[in-house]
Amino acid sequence: MKHNKNNNAKKTKILITGAGGFIGGHLVNYFDLQQNTEIRAVDIKPLAEWQQVNRNAENVVSDLKDFKNCQIVSKGIDEVYNLAADMGGMGFIENNKGLCMLNVLINTHMLMAAAKFGVKRFFYSSSACIYPLNKQSNSNVIELKESDAYPAMPEDGYGWEKLFSERMCRHFSEDFNLVTRVARFHNVYGPFGEYKGGREKAPAALCRKVIEAKINKKKNIEIWGDGQQTRTFMYIDDCVKGIDLIMHSEIDEPINLGRSELVTINELLSIIEKIAEIKLNRQYNLDAPQGVRGRSSDNSLIKKYLNWEPEVDLHEGMKKTYRWIEEKERSK
């Protein structure tokens, strides 16, 4: 959705939570470039630890688990994009279920503040982790439709919190006339994401391991699981565009936001090896966190509503991601 700057038009006041994180940082930049907005960017991390800092935004450090803070940042806002969450890749969410559940405080208090101050639209970033585990137990997974969410059996911890928060959005719309939009993200990747430290996801983690092997002249690489797990991966540019389109649509039900291009972890590594021009010996760690066996996004609904779906080719997106991580690693 293209928005042109117009200094005479009334500016939309946007609040982006989790703005110091990967997706939040890109979303701040997206709206700063394309929409006539005033942006308030909020994150719990000190500003020096934000993935990106846009100096055109009002950048605020605040803990949104506290209702008082949610009220302070929501006052005078037209649109809320709630991306704030304590989360990471599979290595983090499998070992921090309690912390992931505490994210419900953020969405609860942000919804309460949005209703109190008459926010016009509220976007919530949900996850494909809400889908039942029994529908993701095979590598040859059937694409997950939005209607598959119930009967509920989501990923423990993180998935349950996301599903509960989806329901909260629905009921705040019903009870308080707050327009809410919910997108279920499927494995977002790209530059400025975490690539080490325990919160990184598979694309960034594999890029880092390949780069380390090249720098240190190693011949081996460790893969979590047997490499036959299947996933779809969505490039960050598609993610932020999709958020904008969904937020300003008439879609009043949770909807998938992800690519439908299914690959195994082994195939993902092969793409990275081709970009890096290296071939490594694969060592499989079957005791490491692996997540579900297979997960793929059914995009029928988003194509029906928007005549659009995420489109950036995986090889092209991974090339940009690899180059960014390589630059960071070689500049240390």
Model confidence over 52-68: pLDDT tens digits? 999 999 999 999 999 99
Q: Which of 70, 60, 57 is nearest to 14 (CA)?
A: 57
Minimum mean pLDDT range among 90-99, 196-205, 233-242, 279-288: 90-99
Q: Which of 36, 16, 37 is nearest to 28 (CA)?
A: 16
Catalytic option among 81, 131, 158, 195: 158
**What's the pTM?**
0.93
158 is a catalytic site residue: yes
CA distance 251 to 273: 40
Whether 251 shows a pLDDT value over 60: the answer reads yes
Q: Return mean pLDDT, the chain.
A: 93
Whether 141 shows a pLDDT value over 80: the answer reads no
Whether 1 shows a pLDDT value over 50: the answer reads no
**Long-range contact pairs involving 39-45 (C-beta distance under 8 Å, separation at least 24):** 39/14, 39/15, 40/13, 40/14, 40/15, 40/16, 40/73, 40/77, 41/16, 42/15, 42/16, 42/17, 42/18, 42/73, 42/84, 43/17, 43/18, 43/19, 43/84, 44/20, 44/84, 45/20
pLDDT at 2: 44
Q: Which of 306, 165, 309 is nearest to 247 (CA)?
A: 306
Fold for 12-186+235-258, please state it: Rossmann fold (3.40.50)
